[in-house]
Chains A and B, each alone.
Chain A
């Protein structure tokens, strides 16, 4: 009976029992019809029930019984070899746990559908366009008037839902001193009804809450925020808070499952689109568009209509272009719209971690395969050791299927134990890794709650793993020929061939894991050792905001106050900190020429900023308090090189050209060495630092509502001053409020977070892979020495030198190791392209990158071979031959 039909029988035992009873009753009827006396017939027949039981036994009770016996026997087998069993279980557990953990992350971020009605009909609207350098790029931010036109164009076929990028905002339920932060997102009022969501309390927003710009100060809070901030207080509905955009009233709480449309972020507060200042601006791109197709509508015709509308809007817009180079206009018209399935939402985190998580998933899968190969070899070696036992079983009449079951049950026990421990590991590992994806003050929030998807994945994985390492030894056991085995003369090479093939596979996978780990580590190393051009040590950035714009004199007043604090070396003011991924760029024109095709960065800074950042001057002077923007500028080397042919730019003039063609003129007063501006990855761009004191079109000094105090401290730990700085700013001017304090080192670290994570995990799994492969190699070598000890003994007896013996024992294995390494090399080179976007300044074809894993693996193989070789050479031929 096949295993499946037995399992199926257990599942439908009731039906089976009925069938058997019916057959026996029919038998009794027949007997009576043939004229037998009823009581005699019954007596002959005995108790119908008893025969029923006996018949049934054949099908499943016997099987369950044999299963129980096999489990007991398997357990004794495992317990007998405690160390090897524990090693096998732990290595499998680590690998299964890592795979399940990786799946949990991938599932939570990329696969799990949003908890909305028919998520399969949800698409994201993307725009394919060209950047300034003519490179293709895909973005997903739109302008509100365009959105309204597109919405009208597809009415009846699809609903368009606008969702802004979730951002952290400041708000207060009380006084200004009690400001707190929350993740805020603007959404179309129609979203809730369209998603089929029901409120947990109060009501949800509707289309009527999203009509007149600025007239609907109502918000819905998420269930998670309700729980965290209000402890599920029903009175939270009706409360009001004040934020930059005005005063809002909470009208309801969203359903428990809905956490927003951006996996990786849990939205706290949902505000109608109409309450965003951007709804009236035809050029502000500030939100995503989700397309929800009506039932039975195909995406293509909807996309066609959207494209037509988009083209029409662009043609209207192009009429206002004047003086723009023709190739820009051409590119402008070549941009087009795309639809991509968005059942699991859309977020930037998905984009930046999709490949990283896929690479991680492949790495852990390889480690799992290596672990499986180890266990398969272990089982194989044990099966060999038990060949006589198996032969005896066959000889005294054990069915071969029973033998397969016996071996498979043992494998399944290993697998199940490993899966249980691995499950615990995954339970801990997934949040551990998720916690390292974002900087600590802006943690990523993934819905990692284990569900049936994760459970099903774990189950399938365990089953697959058991079959992978258990099937071959099981089939081999059942193919046993008792006579040959009992004679002790089974063909020793067939088993070794399989083991050797597995060794080659292990080495290939191990090579690949080490190779990728090397690439990630070097990437992290290169990126984190990029010169920044400034000194991050002892720097802390105090990002400050005021509800209203404040005159520059007030900002200077706060600067003075902070400067007078003990422990502060110097303070300067800048628009924002360097390396905070914020940038301001513009087009440069020198000497009234055509505007340049590429962009330069700009940053507003106060006098003394370059000194505070320790960016050295090459020539010229720092800003003076009277310098204004436009007017004076300090440029970096890259700027001088790009626009002034590397000559000393001091005293030269340039124009910043605005989108509408107006020009503002700057004179270079000083030049400084290059420093990183936005992030570590992009090449250093031409940068102009301009005074933070800006003059408006009316010639008056402009007030500012936000800026960053750059504080260089005396002490080595700038974070120690954070709380003092946070309190001192509003004490100097009550209008000001600190929104975020980050040390420059923190910002620097945030730049390499993904690379650090990848390098850390890849290195960890690289070490695990190497360890497993080495242990596997050791095991197989040791086994083959054990198996060939008769042959080796004879060779030694007739005078083979030790070197010969060592070569004999290791040659085959080392051929396999080299074959595996070569295969791994080919795999590595083939896969390098798919992870190219994750790498930085490292070439996969670099001989050094290929040498590292090769040398490591050969060294590990030599080390693993040593005990077996010693073992072989210590064989005492006399003793050996006598015992045989």
Chain B
């Protein structure tokens, strides 16, 4: 089990969530979706997005395939696997638990 720090954890969560809504996206589309979905607040850097995609692919949460676009260049499309769906719900509930805990602390302190 690879280690997951909090930053990577939220990136993973975002990527998984996006892929669960819109299957078969390429890296750029995922990046755009994060940016647009968060109202320009969150940005996934290319430098961390691609390593994260490859790592999740190795972990079996997402799978990828090459498709040839009209321009003739190949693009790599990602989609969620069954393991990824499970992972998504686990990460989601953890995120909920963490944020509600943080909120509680903020409210009471």
Contacts and interface: CB of A to CB of B under 8 A. Distances in A.
A57 to B, nearest CB: 7
Given A31-B28, A51-B50, A397-B3, A23 B55 contact: no
Given A55-B51, A59-B54, A23 B1 contact: no
B47 interface: yes
Contact of A26 (B1, B32, B55, B76): B76
A58 B51 contact: yes
A20 B46 CA distance: 13
Contacts of B1: 399-401
B83 interface: no
A46 B46 contact: yes
Contacts of B27: 23, 26-27
A304 interface: no
Contact of A1 (B28, B58, B73, B76): B58
Interface string B35-66: 00000000000110011001100100000000
Nearest to B47: A51
B28 A30 contact: yes
A428 interface: no
Contact of A44 (B32, B46, B50, B54): B46
B17 interface: no
A399 B2 contact: yes
Nearest to A397: B3
B86 interface: no
A471 to B, nearest CB: 20
Interface string A12-42: 0000000110111111011100100000000
Nearest to B48: A54
A623 B60 CA distance: 96
B1 to A, nearest CB: 5
Nearest to B5: A397
Contacts of A54: 47, 50-51
A884 to B, nearest CB: 34
A58 B28 CA distance: 20
Interface residues of A, number: 28
Contact of A57 (B28, B51, B74): B51
A230 interface: no
A29 B46 contact: no
Contacts of A5: 58
Contacts of A397: 3
Nearest to A398: B3
B29 interface: yes
B87 to A, nearest CB: 16
A155 B63 CA distance: 62
A26 B28 CA distance: 9
A529 interface: no
B85 interface: no
A173 interface: no
Contact of A58 (B26, B46, B54, B73): B54
Contact of B54 (A45, A55, A400): A55
B71 interface: yes
Nearest to B27: A27
B50 A59 contact: no
Given A46-B46, A58-B58, A27 B51 contact: no
B75 A26 contact: yes
A533 B27 CA distance: 94
A401 B74 CA distance: 34
Contacts of B74: 22, 26
Contacts of A22: 73-74, 76
B73 A51 contact: no
A46 B47 contact: yes
A235 interface: no
A27 B3 contact: no
A26 B26 contact: yes
A50 interface: yes
Interface in A229-273: none
Contacts of B69: 26
A23 B76 contact: yes
B54 A25 contact: no
Contacts of A23: 27, 50, 75-76
Contacts of A401: 1
A50 B73 contact: no
Contacts of B58: 1, 5, 58-59
A588 B82 CA distance: 89
A30 B26 contact: yes
B3 A51 contact: no
Contacts of A30: 26, 28-29, 75
Given A26-B27, A26-B74, A57-B51, 9 more contacts: A26-B26, A27-B27, A27-B28, A27-B46, A30-B28, A34-B32, A54-B51, A399-B2, A399-B3
26 contacts: A5-B58, A20-B50, A23-B27, A23-B50, A23-B75, A24-B46, A24-B50, A26-B74, A27-B26, A27-B28, A29-B71, A30-B26, A30-B29, A30-B75, A31-B28, A34-B28, A44-B46, A50-B47, A51-B46, A51-B50, A55-B51, A57-B51, A58-B51, A58-B55, A399-B2, A400-B1
